[in-house]
Every structure is written in structure tokens, then in C-alpha cells.
Amino acid sequence: MEPKKDKEQETDFTRITTVLLKSRTGEFELESILFLKLRSLGIYDLGCIGECINLERLDLSGNNILNLAPLASLRLLLVLNVSANRISNLEPISSCESLQSLNVAGNLIPSIESLQCLKPLRNLESVRLKDNTYNYSNPVCKNSAYRNVLLEMFPNIKVFDGERVVGRGSDLYQLCKDIDDTIKAGLYKNGQLPDMPDCKPWVEDSFWEIKRSNNAIVEEAYKQFNDVLHECRILNNRAAHVISQTERTMGLKNQPKQYAV
């Protein structure tokens, strides 16, 4: 027989309650909550979150959520992050008409047809179904057409799966991606990626550190920027390894031949 779970612990870590929301935000009324972050708490039941009718930014990443139905009443929601959950149906958020940024990477969204419910979200500017940095994806991403379908559905999207698709920076991102793919192709030998040697970074580690703002409006931009920096570090290590290998190869070719006397 399994031990009986502590009632308070179950409330805190499985279901969103009024007590949990007020303790996390310090607000006395749920209607006063504008920004909410409930990452990696083991939540599977969204409970009373639908009562936060003025909510603008919501982060529920890294939980066990299957049903998004309680989010249907959040008409003012601008940013929603439900990455790394167990969601297969996006229909409930079709009524979140103000939504501008949606992250559903690392879920169970099955097919292109299951994305059609997003059509009413005409304000969407950023959509993420796949995140290579954290190895998050969805079954639908196995269909190479999903990207074109969504871009046709939302012609004004600026960022798709972390890549800028319009505006300044999109060409640079694609260039970096092409360079990264080329380096990957050069490193693979006999179908395996060799161990990377320790390489001296081009800049000091502190160069990448930025002060985190307390303003929740820039929270998503901060996360996306750090994701790009993480990818840059990986690219830096791979490039340094290729350069090192090339230098050693060139050095061997330039060595004079020695003959035994």
C-alpha cells in the first residue's frame, strides 16, 4: 500500500490553486496577476488559473500538463510558454486572441491538422514547436511541411523555432546555421562525432554575462538571447576543433621528409 500523500504537498506540486498563485505572486486577487512563472513544479492540473483573466505572460514549462482548457478564458495573454509538457491538443488556446508568442516545444502535438486550430491567433509573431538547444520537439516536426504550413497560416510571423524569418538578423542567422551544418558534416567520420578536445575560448566567459532585468516584459527576449549564445558557444568549440585539426594536418604536410642513411 502506497503511503498517503501530504495534502499540502499535493496542492503545491500537482494542481494550481488560489493559495499557490497568491503565494507565488504576492497578489491578493487573482485578477491582479499579470505575470506568472510556474516552471518545473510537476503540475498536471491547471486548476483555477483561468480566473487570472488579466494575465499577460505565463510560463508553465517543464510540468506534466495534458489539458489546456483552463487557459481559454485568458483573452489578454500575450506570451505563453508550455514547453516540455505532455500536450497534444492546442484547441483551448485558440480563444487567446491577444497571443503574440507561443512556445509548445517538447510536447506531443501529433500532426499538421492539429495546428489548424491556431488560425484565430492573428497576432502571433513568434512560434516554437522545436528547440534544438534543449532537444525539444513534437511528433509533427517529423513532417518537413509543418514549417511552410505555419508560415503560410501566419505570414506576419517574425520568429519561428527560434529563427528570425523576417527583418534584420534573419540572413545572419541562416548564414550561421549553414556554417554550423558545414562544420558538423566535416566533423563526422564513419558516422560518428569524435570527442571534442578542450579549446581555448575566443573570449572570456564573463564576456557573455549580461545583467538580468527585473522587468518581466523582456523575460522572453532574455531567454531567446541566452539560447542563441548557447548555440554560439557550441559553434565556437566546433570551429576551434576544425581549425586545430586543419593546422595539424597542414603541419604534417609541410614537414621535410627524412631518409635513413
Q: What is the DSSP string of 80-128?
A: EE--SS-----GGGGG-TT--EEE--SS----SGGGGGGTT-TT--EEE
Query: Does 70 reside within a domain?
Result: yes
The reply to whether 134 and 182 lie within a common domain is no
Query: Does 234 reside within a domain?
Result: yes
Quick: pLDDT tens for 143-191.
989 999 998 999 889 999 988 886 555 555 566 666 666 666 665 555 5
Query: Does 1 reside within a domain?
Result: no
pLDDT band at 5; cut points 50, 70, 90: very low
More confident position, 216 or 199: 199
pLDDT of residue 239: 77
Report if pTM > 0.85: no
* Total number of domains constituting the chain: 2
Final residue in a domain of this structure, among 128, 162, 196 = 162
Residue with cell 642513411: 261
pLDDT of residue 92: 97
pLDDT of residue 38: 95
pLDDT band at 9; cut points 50, 70, 90: very low
The reply to whether 158 and 198 lie within a common domain is no
The reply to whether 12 and 107 lie within a common domain is yes
Final residue in a domain of this structure, among 112, 143, 162 = 162
The reply to whether 71 and 102 lie within a common domain is yes
Look up the CATH number of the domain holding residue 70.
Answer: 3.80.10.10
Query: Does 176 reside within a domain?
Result: yes
pLDDT band at 240; cut points 50, 70, 90: confident
The reply to whether 172 and 154 lie within a common domain is no
Query: Does 2 reside within a domain?
Result: no
The reply to whether 140 and 201 lie within a common domain is no
Q: Is the pLDDT of residue 246 over 90?
A: no
Query: Does 123 reside within a domain?
Result: yes
More confident position, 130 or 188: 130
Average the pLDDT over 111-125 and give the result.
95
Residue 240, CA distances (Å) to 135, 197, 208, 237 in order:
23, 9, 18, 5
The reply to whether 107 and 145 lie within a common domain is yes
List all residues 6 or more positions away from 24 whose beta carbon is below 8 Å from its beta carbon: 36, 37, 38
Least confident of 12-16, 109-113, 177-181: 177-181
For β-strands 57-59 and 101-103, DSSP reports them as unpaired
Average the pLDDT over 92-98 and give the result.
96
SS3 at position 146: helix
Query: Does 261 reside within a domain?
Result: no
The reply to whether 153 and 191 lie within a common domain is no
Query: Does 242 reside within a domain?
Result: yes
The reply to whether 179 and 151 lie within a common domain is no
Final residue in a domain of this structure, among 162, 193, 220 = 162
The reply to whether 57 and 158 lie within a common domain is yes
> By residue range, what is the domain housing residue 46?
7-162
More confident position, 197 or 159: 159
pLDDT band at 1; cut points 50, 70, 90: very low
* DSSP calls for 171-203: HHHHHHHHHHHHHHHHH-BTTBPPPPPP---SS
pLDDT of residue 197: 58
The reply to whether 128 and 37 lie within a common domain is yes
Q: How many CA atoms lie within 13 A of 210 on its CB side?
A: 12
SS3 at position 163: strand
Quick: pLDDT tens for 202-227.
656 665 555 544 455 456 666 667 77
Instruction: Say what percent of the chain tops pLDDT 90.
Output: 51
The reply to whether 112 and 144 lie within a common domain is yes
